[in-house]
Amino acid sequence: MTLLIVFALLSIVVSFICSVLEASLLSLTPSYIAGLKESRPTLHLRLARLKDALDQPLAAILTLNTIAHTIGAAGVGAQVTKLYGDAYLGAASAVMTLLILVLSEIVPKSLGARYWRQLSPMLPPVLNTMILLLKPFIWLSDILLRLLGSHDHAADLRSEIKAMATLGNELGQLDKDEERAIANILDLHEIRVKDIMVPRTVCTIMSPNDTIENAKRFSRKQPFSRFPVLDNEQEPVGILLRQELYFEEKDPERSIRSLLKPAHVVLDQMNAEQAMGLLLRERQQMLLVYDEYGAWQGLITMEDILETILGHPILDETDTITNMRRFARRRWQYLNRS
């Protein structure tokens, strides 16, 4: 009777531990491991190694689990037959199967999936020991996997992060604006400058030959703080900051050319992520947009990119038009009809 209990307990306990380890290992997320890099660098390295070579710890866990089940089932069956005869072998097998299902599969895997953060520090020493002891079986497993042509599939992290943001919104951890902003940031590399720029038909520009006095008078009627300056061929000359006009009082009849800042030009096929990076690096607020043939198409500002991220326009008390692209389209349609 003692051996019967020992075989049953051995099988269930070992299988319980294996199931907890498996569930905890598979529940480890890349973000959790990355978060340990600063606070617990040693644990970060050990967990990262386990996740990078996931086949080895899984092979060790499954090998030990199979050995435990096999020895347990054989030992329990032999002891039941010896003590009670063949008549009770079927009943013993049914009871053992139920115990293994509940106590060494359902319960431990639920615990591992729930408490994987608390269990993560013990995973490296336990799993590395198992890998060392079961190295021959893992070696055979590696050979079989190579013969089957196993390979890693790159994770689509952008889709996963967007899915996590959607889940966060559904669980009430993120509001709708936060979910939208996260998704839009991840999509910036797919959005072309021409899709979010201010079209040239609604841009307010100046000529390099305008005098400071005329430019000052003109700027007072405009809600903008900077103006693109183009020549007669619509070639870029520079950017005029409104504040520069008021610093120059000596010669109001002089042209604005001497007050201009360099203009940065981009192609309309550049993506919004690259445009934002250029604005930040060059400490600019405005880029002039040209097509591949050198024709001026419009301009893009940091505000346009931020509006794309937020998903709605940024307006102040002086703004009367919420969508410049829609306004440009309607204006073009109106001019064509007239």
**Closest by Cα among 201, 216, 189, 223 to 327:** 201
What does the pLDDT look like over 284-295, one tens digit per residue? 999 999 999 999
Residues composing the chain: 338
In percent, how much of the chain has pLDDT > 90?
51
Average per-residue pLDDT in the chain?
Answer: 86
3-state secondary structure at position 68: helix
Q: Each residue of 300-328: b (16+ CB within 10 Å) or e?
A: bbeebbebbbeeeeeeeeeeeeeebeebb
pLDDT at 22: 94
Of the two residues 337 and 87, the one the predictor is more confident about is 87
pLDDT at 322: 54
Backbone angles phi, psi at 222, to 5 degrees: -115, 145
Give me 97's structure tokens.
Answer: 């199967």
| Neighbouring-strand partners of residue 255 | 211
What does the pLDDT look like over 173-224, one tens digit per residue? 899 999 999 999 999 999 999 999 989 888 889 999 999 999 999 988 888 8
Give 267: exposed, middle or buried? Use CB within 10 Å, 0-12, 13-18, 19+: middle
Sign of CA dihedral 204, 210, 216, 218: negative
Is the entire prediction scored with pTM above 0.85?
A: no
Least confident of 90-104, 163-177, 200-214, 251-265: 90-104
Q: What is the mean pLDDT of residues 129-137?
A: 91
**pLDDT at residue 266 is higher than 60:** yes
**pLDDT at residue 304 is higher than 60:** yes
Tokens 């269930």, located at residue: 12
Residue 155: pLDDT band with limits 50, 70, 90: low
Query: Which of 71-75, 87-91, 314-318, 328-332 is modeled with the greatest confidence?
Result: 71-75
**pLDDT at residue 321 is higher than 60:** no
**pLDDT at residue 153 is higher than 90:** no
CB 31 within 8 A of CB 13: no
pLDDT at 324: 54
Q: Where are the alpha helices (DSSP H) in the chain?
A: 2-27, 30-39, 41-52, 55-84, 89-101, 107-114, 116-119, 123-133, 135-147, 157-170, 176-187, 193-196, 212-219, 242-247, 272-282, 302-310, 324-337
The string of DSSP letters for 6-31 reads HHHHHHHHHHHHHHHHHHHHHH--HH
pLDDT at 80: 78
